[in-house]
């Protein structure tokens, strides 16, 4: 039986795409940057921190009391000043900050000067309500311009924001608000999603029956339908900003003062409040946004994520605004009113840089290339991928059908906990490889280790770890330092455990293989779910696949695949056998899935993430966990029925 010390690296991908010469010649990052950063990584990070506006300049770079870091710890600055005021002072106030597009088709353009004015008025309104430095404020909003305004207003007065994704249930709001003891909740009457109205305020009302710390609920008007407003607690956004001046003195924040909390799931039911502070985080997102996306003054940049996740915090709000970028914000889904909505937006605003998720890209593949073909995408010059490992076929489709085979594709690896991008190509320097995040960025140190914490040789797989502190790193878990130490720092001495499996090819490229708990152990072989999924979607009939392990008396675990076919095609026993053979030929006979369930759709959250936890429940025949964040809960019931029949036939 094979040793389970490291995750097996099964797939091989040899295609490489060097940077186009004309792109490389003008790139923000040039080849010498890696050596320069490695020569003195503290000086490298210091040089980026010095580009920010400090009300009190720092003299210390890093104080490291493992596992707790202080970056630029004696300096003072304000995040909203760095995102807005300094640009307006420099005469750039008329620069467009955001092109905004609502799902129903309403549009608005807002300049840096207008955004600063809105932020100051709302910040003054928050202060008038009694919100002060050190408080925590929950934000539960649709993708409307009031969302970044609320975040920046909190940052301006020194109150940490805790953004809760607008697809979460009332129970999720209760958990996050009570853990952080938030004093205010900012929401909207409703939001739009696929033409339907999302009852945001109603969800907040249900939550606030169990959130004793909330003193005020501030409600922005988005849809306009009548809603319940509780006197003395609920107040309209318009009334909060009414008669407020367009200037607001910013709080001087220590570099290590809390900027925001963002809750992420863990191995227990209790979500973790990830702490990000001001100076190091701003330094990290400014650098990575400028270099990874090769941002130019004339660019229109679009991160097509939701601000409710860390991607939106770092690469819709703080990074782009700190870099004086012009960005797009879109409220709705990619398929409303039709499946070309994203490409229509790219064409309308002449987008140059597009950053989206592999789940979305695979969905676009499933819909077919006729949708992007309807639109002029020639303004695009760089594509990015974020959120989970991207399989090579989706990467190639993205490059060909969206990027016209001319745009570098930067596949970025990072986490809520890391604050910003950690491993990614630099598009003017790095030869990209379909499906690989390539190398750690300048200033970042990463490795892949086995169960003993020893570095795995090139060609091998194991656990992804980070081997030294970085400015954007989490400063702990809110109220639970012990959980922080145990979760991230206890498995391997002096190494941050990312929780992801990865392998390195012989060129040193990193290939991420999904969460460690998404690794299946079949007859002693540790097999990454991501590699098996990638093999499936290389088959011409397969649109999307999610794989998990199912307990098996003989092999420990057996591979269970949920498969969605292109063009809505229905599966068959013959096709299932064909797919088993196909995967086995790609990766090895021991990776042949024992169970295959065909489904029209995979269960996904409203943000498009596959709910793998629920698929594991379906595979094992367990009672389902929380389904409130699913976009369509009926899918799971259908899967349960199909899975029962698949399991009985496979076990016969």
461 — phi, psi (to 5°)? Answer: -125, 165
CA–CA dist 168, 309 (Å, integer):
12
pLDDT of residue 638: 77
In contact, 374 and 402? CB cutoff 8 Å: no
Binning the chain into helix, strand and coil, the percentages to the nearest 5 are 35, 25, 45
CA–CA dist 361, 341 (Å, integer):
14
For 244-286, the pLDDT digits (tens) are 999 999 999 999 999 999 998 655 557 799 999 999 999 999 9
pLDDT at 613 over 80: no
Instruction: Give domain limits for the chain.
Output: 539-651
- Please give the average per-residue pLDDT across 572-586, as a whole number: 92
Using pLDDT thresholds of 50, 70 and 90, give the confidence band for residue 2: very low
In contact, 504 and 458? CB cutoff 8 Å: yes
pLDDT at 527 over 90: no
pLDDT of residue 4: 38
Using pLDDT thresholds of 50, 70 and 90, give the confidence band for residue 553: confident
CA–CA dist 85, 115 (Å, integer):
10
SS (H, E, C) 225-286: CCCCCCCCCEEEHHHHHCCCCCCCCCCCEECCCEEEEEEECCCCCCCEEEEEECHHHHHHHH
Residue burial 478-494, b: 16+ Cβ < 10 Å; e: rest: beeeebbeebbbebbee
CB atoms under 10 Å from CB of 234, counted, come to 19
| Least confident piece of the model among 157-161, 374-378, 590-594 | 590-594
CA–CA dist 610, 603 (Å, integer):
6
Question: The whole model's pTM is what?
Answer: 0.86
pLDDT at 1 over 50: no
Using pLDDT thresholds of 50, 70 and 90, give the confidence band for residue 451: very high
Residues with Cβ within 8 Å of 126's Cβ and at least 6 positions away in sequence, in order, are: 137, 153, 154, 157, 159, 184, 240
- Pairing, β 160-163 against β 184-188: unpaired
Please state the separation of Cα 527 from the chain's center in Å.
Answer: 25
pLDDT at 519 over 50: yes
539-651 belongs to CATH 1.10.3720.10: no
Please state the separation of Cα 52 from the chain's center in Å.
Answer: 24
Residue reference for tokens 């056998």: 577
For 144-168, the pLDDT digits (tens) are 999 999 999 999 999 999 999 988 8
- Please give the average per-residue pLDDT across 94-118, as a whole number: 98
For 426-440, the pLDDT digits (tens) are 999 999 999 999 999
pLDDT of residue 525: 73
| Least confident piece of the model among 2-16, 58-72, 481-495, 616-630 | 2-16
For 284-312, the pLDDT digits (tens) are 999 999 999 999 999 999 999 999 999 99
Using pLDDT thresholds of 50, 70 and 90, give the confidence band for residue 3: very low
pLDDT at 630 over 80: no
Burial (0-12, 13-18, 19+ Cβ within 10 Å), 298:
exposed
CB atoms under 10 Å from CB of 265, counted, come to 11
Instruction: Name the strand (E) or helix (H) holding 562.
Output: strand 556-565
């Amino acid at each position: 039986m094979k040793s389970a010390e490291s995750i097996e690296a099964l797939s091989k991908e040899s295609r490489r795409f060097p940077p186009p010469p004309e792109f490389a010649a003008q790139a923000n990052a040039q080849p010498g940057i890696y050596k320069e950063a490695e020569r003195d990584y503290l000086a490298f990070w210091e040089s980026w921190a010095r580009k920010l506006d400090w009300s009190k300049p720092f003299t210390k770079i890093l104080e490291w009391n493992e596992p707790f870091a202080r970056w630029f710890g004696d300096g003072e600055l304000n995040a909203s000043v760095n995102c807005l005021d300094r640009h307006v002072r420099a005469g750039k106030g008329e620069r467009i900050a955001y092109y905004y597009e609502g799902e129903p088709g309403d549009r608005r353009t807002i300049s840096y000067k207008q955004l600063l004015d809105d932020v100051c008025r709302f910040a003054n309104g928050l202060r008038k309500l009694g919100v002060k430095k050190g408080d925590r404020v929950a934000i539960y909003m649709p993708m409307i311009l009031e969302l970044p305004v609320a975040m920046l207003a909190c940052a301006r007065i020194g109150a940490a924001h805790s953004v809760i994704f607008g697809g979460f249930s009332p129970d999720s709001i209760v958990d996050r608000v009570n853990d952080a003891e938030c004093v205010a909740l900012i929401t909207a009457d409703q939001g739009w999603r696929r033409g339907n109205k999302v009852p945001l305020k109603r969800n907040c009302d249900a939550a606030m029956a169990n959130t004793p710390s909330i003193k005020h609920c501030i409600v922005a008007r988005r849809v306009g339908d009548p809603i319940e407003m509780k006197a003395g607690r609920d107040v309209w956004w318009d009334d909060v900003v009414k008669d407020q001046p367009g200037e607001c003195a910013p709080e001087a924040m220590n570099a290590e003062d809390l900027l925001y909390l963002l809750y992420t799931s863990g191995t227990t039911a209790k979500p973790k409040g990830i702490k990000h502070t001001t100076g190091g985080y701003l330094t990290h997102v400014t650098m990575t946004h400028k270099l990874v996306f090769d941002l130019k003054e004339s660019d229109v940049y679009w991160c097509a994520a939701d601000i409710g996740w860390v991607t939106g915090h770092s690469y819709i709000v703080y990074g782009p605004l700190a870099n004086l970028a012009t960005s797009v914000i879109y409220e709705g889904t990619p398929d409303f009113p039709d499946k070309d909505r994203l490409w229509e937006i790219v064409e309308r605003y002449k987008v140059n840089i597009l950053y989206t998720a592999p789940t979305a890209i695979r969905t676009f593949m499933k819909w077919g290339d006729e949708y992007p073909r309807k639109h002029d995408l020639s303004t695009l010059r760089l594509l990015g991928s974020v959120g989970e490992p991207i399989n090579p076929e989706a990467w190639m489709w993205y490059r060909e059908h969206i990027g016209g085979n001319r745009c570098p594709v930067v596949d970025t690896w990072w986490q809520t906990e890391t604050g910003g991008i950690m491993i990614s190509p630099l598009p003017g320097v790095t030869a990209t490889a379909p499906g690989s995040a390539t190398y750690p960025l300048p200033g970042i140190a990463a490795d892949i280790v086995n169960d003993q914490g020893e570095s795995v040789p090139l060609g091998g797989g194991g656990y992804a770890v980070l081997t030294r502190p970085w400015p954007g790193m989490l400063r702990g878990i809110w109220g639970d330092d012990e959980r922080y130490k145990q979760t991230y720092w206890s498995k391997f001495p002096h190494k941050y455990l990312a929780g992801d499996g990865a392998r390195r090819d012989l060129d040193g490229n990193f290939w991420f293989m999904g969460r460690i708990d998404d690794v299946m152990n079949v007859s002693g072989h540790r097999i990454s779910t991501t590699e098996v999924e990638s093999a499936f979607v290389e088959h011409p009939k397969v649109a999307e696949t999610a794989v998990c392990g199912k307990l098996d008396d003989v092999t420990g675990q057996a591979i269970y695949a949920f498969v969605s076919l292109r063009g809505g095609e229905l599966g068959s026993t013959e096709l299932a056998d064909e797919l088993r053979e196909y995967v086995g030929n790609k990766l090895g006979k021991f990776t042949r899935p024992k169970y295959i369930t065909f489904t029209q759709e995979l269960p996904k959250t409203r943000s498009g993430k596959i709910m793998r936890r629920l698929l594991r429940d379906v595979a094992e025949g367990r009672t389902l966990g929380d389904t409130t964040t699913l976009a369509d809960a009926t899918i799971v019931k259908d899967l349960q029925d199909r899975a029962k029949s698949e399991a009985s036939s496979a076990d016969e």
